[in-house]
C-alpha cells in the first residue's frame, strides 16, 4: 500500500535549494588531485568506473539483500573522509545507527574517530513517514546547508519508492535531488533493492546505475558488479567479480575488458633457453624473450619438470623467476625437482625463485590473474612457469570467456616483461587433441607436445615442437627420458608413424618409383 503525500513543485524546491547552496558558508576544498573526480578507494572499482565518480553526480546502486550495498557505500564514505571530505549518511530504514555501525566495526576501513569528526549519520525515516517525499527532501536540504558534505549516501531508497503516490512524484523528487546535490557539489549514492528488468523512473534520471548481484554455477556462488550506466565516464562494460573481505569489497576488473596495449617487434636475437642443450636445439636455440610457450601432455609425462628446467636455467643466470602452481605444494615440488637433479632450494632461499602455490579450494579466475600478475611484478621476474593452466579454466564461473581471458592474460604477462611457460593437461587415454575451450594454439607463440607412446609392450615418452611462431625449430619427434640424472633427449622414432595420435605403426618402405619417395 502506498501512502499518498503531496510533493512540492520542482521549481519551488529547486530554487530554494540553489539559493541555500549559493549563500551558505564556503565548503571544504577538495584535494587538488581530484580535479572533479571522486575516487572510491575500493580496490579495482575505480578502474571499472573509468577513474571514479563525477563530483556532484547522483548514482543509484541496486542489489539484492546481502549483496554488499551498505558495505560498499560505507567503505567509499570512510575513504572520502580520509581524503578530507565531510560525509553525510542518511538512512530510511528503521534500523538504528548503532546497529549499523556495529556491523561495520569488524571491517578494517572502519574509523571510529571519523564518525565524530567528519562523518554524520542522520535518520530520515520519521520525516518520510510524517511528511512524505517533500519532508524528506527538506531534511536533506537543511542538513546539507548546515554540514556542507562533499559525499552523501541515502540508504533504504525502497521506502522512498513506496511513499511516492505516482511515478511522476518520484521523478520530481529525483530531479530536485539531482539538481541540488549538483549545485552543492555533493556526490551522492542512493542504495535500493534490485529491480530486475522492471524499469523505474530514477534509472533515467540518475547519472549512473550500478548493480551488485550473485551468479550461480553448480554449487558455487560468485558476487558480480556491473555498471549499466555512467555519464561522463568511459567505464568497463560487462560483469566483474568481487568479494567481501575483512577489508571490505575487493573488485577484480575482467582483464579482457581493459584496452589492449600495442607491443613492439619481438627481439629474435634474445632467446631464453631451458638449460637443456638437446631440447634448446629443437627450439632453434630457445624461445624468444617475452613469448609464451605451452607444454601440452598427459599427467606424469614431464611437463612440470621441463618447466622447472626453464626456471633453473634462469636462476643460474642470476634472473628473477616465479613458479605459480595449483597442484603441488612447495615442499613436494622442490623434492620432486631434486630427485631428477634439479636443485632449486638455494634459489628459493636467496629470492631468485619465488613459489606461489594455491591448494585445491574454490578459487576465482580473476583473483588468480591478479595474484599472478602481482607476483611477476613484485619479483620483477623475467621467467614465469604457470603449472596447470587448467586450474584457471576450472576456476572460471563463466567458462565461455576463458579464450579471451587467456589471450588477455598472456598479453599482460608480456607487458610485465615475463617469458612464460604454461602447462596444459591432456587426457591420459582417448582423444589426444587439446580441449577446444582452452585454444592454447591461438593464445601462445610456441607449443611443445608431449605424450606417451606404447610400442613393443613398453611405454615411452615423446616430445615434439609442433609450433614456434617466432623462429625455426626441429620438427622431429624425439624420445624423452627422465631418470635420477635429469632429462635426456634421444633420437626420434625412425620408421614409425602415428606417434602424435598415440597409436604408432611402422611406415611402409617407399619404392623409387613412388612419388612420395622423391618428395
Q: What is the pLDDT along the chain (519 residues), one digit of tens a residue?
A: 343 343 334 444 444 444 443 433 334 434 434 468 999 999 999 999 999 999 999 999 999 888 999 999 999 999 999 999 999 999 887 567 888 888 899 999 999 888 878 999 998 888 888 888 888 999 999 999 999 999 999 998 888 877 777 888 889 999 999 999 999 999 999 999 887 666 777 888 999 999 999 888 777 888 999 999 999 999 999 999 999 999 999 999 999 998 766 666 666 678 899 998 999 999 999 999 999 999 999 999 999 999 999 999 999 999 999 999 988 899 999 999 999 999 999 999 999 999 999 876 677 899 999 999 999 999 999 999 999 888 888 888 788 888 889 989 999 999 999 999 999 988 876 554 544 445 555 678 899 999 888 877 788 899 999 988 877 788 888 999 999 999 999 876 555 555 555 555 554 443 333 333 333
The verdict on 65 and 186 lying in the same domain is yes
Same domain, 202 and 54: yes
| pLDDT reported for residue 514 | 39
Q: Could you tell me which residues are beta bridge partners of residue 383? A: 321, 419
Q: Are residues 224 and 297 in the same domain?
A: no
Which three cell numbers, joined as nine digits, stand for 193? 533493492
Cα–Cα distance list, 281 to 108, 446, 471, 476 (Å): 54, 14, 12, 11
The pLDDT value given to residue 17: 41
Alpha carbons 187 and 153: distance in angstroms, whole number: 9
Specify the number of domains making up the chain.
2
How would you write 309-355 as a 3-class SS string?
Answer: HHHHHHHHCCCCEEEEECCCCHHHHHHHHHCCCCCCHHHHHCCCEEE
* 301, part of any domain: yes
Q: How far is CA 457 from the centre of its chain?
A: 48
| Same domain membership, residue 237 and residue 197 | yes
Instruction: With beta carbons less than 8 A apart as the criterion, state whether 318 and 349 touch.
Output: no
Residues 157 and 66 occupy one common structural domain:
yes
Q: Are 205 and 170 part of one and the same domain?
A: yes
Nearest-angstrom CA–CA distance, 207 and 229: 7
How many of the other CB atoms lie within 10 Å of CB of 83? 18
The reply to whether 264 falls in a domain is no
Which of 404, 423, 451 is the last residue before a domain boundary? 451
The C-alpha cell at 414 is: 608480456
Are 211 and 288 in the same domain? Answer: no
Predicted local confidence at residue 265, as pLDDT: 62
Q: In angstroms, rounded to a whole number, what is the distance separating the alpha carbons of residues 139 and 137?
A: 5
Label residues 257-295 b or e (16+ Cβ within 10 Å = b).
Answer: beeeeeeeebeeeebbbbbbeebbebbbbbbbbbbbbbb
Residues 206 and 355 in one domain: no
In terms of domains, do 146 and 194 share one? yes
Last residue of one domain, picked from the residues 253, 285, 314: 253
Q: With the C-alpha atoms ordered 124, 126, 129, 133, is the resulting torsion angle positive or negative?
A: negative
90 in a structural domain = yes
Q: Look up the CATH number of the domain holding residue 222.
A: 3.40.50.300
* Beta strand ranges found along 83-118 (DSSP E): 87-91
Res 262: pLDDT: 61
Task: Give the H/E segment covering residue 202.
Answer: helix 201-205
Q: Is residue 336 part of a domain?
A: yes
Specify whether 279 is located in the same domain as 245: no
CA distances from 264 to 258, 261, 288, 411, 438 (A): 19, 10, 13, 12, 26
State which residues form the domain around 391: 271-451
Q: What is the dihedral of CA 401, 407, 413, 419, to 10 degrees?
A: 140
68 domain-assigned: yes
pLDDT at 263: 62
If asked whether residues 288 and 221 sit together in one domain, one would say no
Residue 145 lies in a domain: yes
From 401, 423, 451, the end of a domain falls on: 451
Whole-structure pTM value: 0.81
Residue 104's alpha-carbon distances to 85, 159, 191, 408, in angstroms, are 20, 23, 17, 36
Tell me whether residue 203 is in a domain. Answer: yes
Considering the domain boundaries, does residue 504 fall inside one? no
In three-state secondary structure terms, 447 is strand
Q: Are residues 213 and 329 in the same domain?
A: no
Amino acid at each position: 500500500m502506498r501512502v499518498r503525500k503531496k510533493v512540492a513543485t520542482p521549481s519551488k524546491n529547486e530554487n530554494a535549494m540553489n539559493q541555500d547552496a549559493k549563500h551558505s558558508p564556503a565548503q571544504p576544498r577538495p584535494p587538488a588531485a581530484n580535479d572533479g573526480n571522486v575516487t572510491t578507494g575500493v580496490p579495482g572499482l575505480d578502474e571499472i568506473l573509468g577513474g571514479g565518480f563525477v563530483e556532484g553526480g547522483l548514482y543509484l546502486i541496486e542489489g539484492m539483500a546481502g549483496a554488499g550495498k551498505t558495505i560498499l557505500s560505507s567503505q567509499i564514505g570512510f575513504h572520502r573522509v580520509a581524503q578530507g571530505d565531510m560525509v553525510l549518511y542518511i538512512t530510511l530504514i528503521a534500523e538504528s545507527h548503532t546497529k549499523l555501525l556495529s556491523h561495520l566495526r569488524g571491517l578494517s576501513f572502519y574509523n571510529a574517530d571519523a564518525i565524530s569528526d567528519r562523518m554524520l549519520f542522520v535518520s530520515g525515516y520519521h520525516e518520510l513517514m510524517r511528511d512524505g517525499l517533500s519532508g524528506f527532501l527538506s531534511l536533506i536540504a537543511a542538513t546539507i546547508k548546515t554540514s556542507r558534505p562533499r559525499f552523501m549516501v541515502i540508504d533504504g531508497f525502497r521506502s522512498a519508492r513506496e511513499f511516492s503516490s505516482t511515478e511522476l512524484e518520484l521523478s520530481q523528487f529525483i530531479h530536485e535531488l539531482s539538481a541540488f546535490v549538483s549545485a552543492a557539489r555533493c556526490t551522492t549514492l542512493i542504495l535500493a533493492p534490485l529491480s530486475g528488468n522492471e524499469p523505474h523512473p530514477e534509472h533515467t534520471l540518475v547519472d549512473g546505475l550500478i548493480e551488485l548481484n550473485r551468479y550461480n554455477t553448480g554449487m558455487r556462488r560468485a558476487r558480480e558488479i556491473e555498471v549499466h550506466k555512467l555519464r561522463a565516464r568511459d567505464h568497463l562494460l560487462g560483469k566483474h567479480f568481487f568479494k567481501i573481505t575483512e577489508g571490505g569489497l575487493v573488485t577484480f576488473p575482467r582483464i579482457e575488458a581493459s584496452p589492449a596495449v600495442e607491443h613492439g617487434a619481438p627481439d629474435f636475437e634474445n632467446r631464453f633457453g631451458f638449460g637443456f642443450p638437446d631440447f634448446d636445439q629443437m627450439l632453434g636455440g630457445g624461445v624468444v624473450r617475452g613469448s609464451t610457450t605451452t607444454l601440452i601432455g598427459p599427467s606424469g609425462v614431464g611437463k612440470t619438470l621441463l618447466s622447472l628446467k626453464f626456471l633453473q636455467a634462469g636462476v643460474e643466470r642470476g634472473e628473477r623467476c616465479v613458479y605459480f602452481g595449483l597442484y603441488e605444494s612447495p615442499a613436494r615440488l622442490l623434492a620432486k625437482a631434486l630427485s631428477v637433479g634439479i636443485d632449486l632450494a638455494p634459489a628459493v632461499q636467496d629470492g631468485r625463485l619465488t613459489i606461489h602455490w594455491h591448494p585445491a579450494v574454490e578459487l576465482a579466475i580473476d583473483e588468480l590473474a591478479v595474484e599472478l600478475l602481482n607476483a611477476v611484478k613484485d619479483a620483477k621476474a623475467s621467467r614465469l612457469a604457470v603449472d596447470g593452466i587448467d586450474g584457471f579454466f576450472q576456476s572460471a564461473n563463466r567458462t565461455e570467456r576463458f579464450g579471451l581471458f587467456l589471450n588477455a592474460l598472456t598479453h599482460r604477462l608480456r607487458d610485465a616483461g615475463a617469458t612464460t611457460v604454461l602447462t596444459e593437461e591432456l587426457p591420459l587415454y582417448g582423444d589426444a587433441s587439446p580441449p577446444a575451450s582452452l585454444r592454447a594454439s591461438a593464445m601462445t607463440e610456441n607449443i611443445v607436445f608431449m605424450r606417451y607412446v606404447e610400442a613393443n609392450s613398453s611405454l615411452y615418452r615423446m616430445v615434439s615442437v609442433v609450433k614456434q611462431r617466432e623462429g625455426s625449430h626441429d620438427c622431429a619427434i624425439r624420445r624423452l627420458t627422465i631418470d635420477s640424472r635429469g632429462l635426456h633427449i634421444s633420437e626420434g622414432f625412425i620408421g614409425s608413424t602415428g606417434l602424435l595420435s598415440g597409436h604408432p605403426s611402422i611406415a611402409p618402405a617407399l619404392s623409387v618409383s613412388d612419388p612420395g619417395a622423391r618428395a
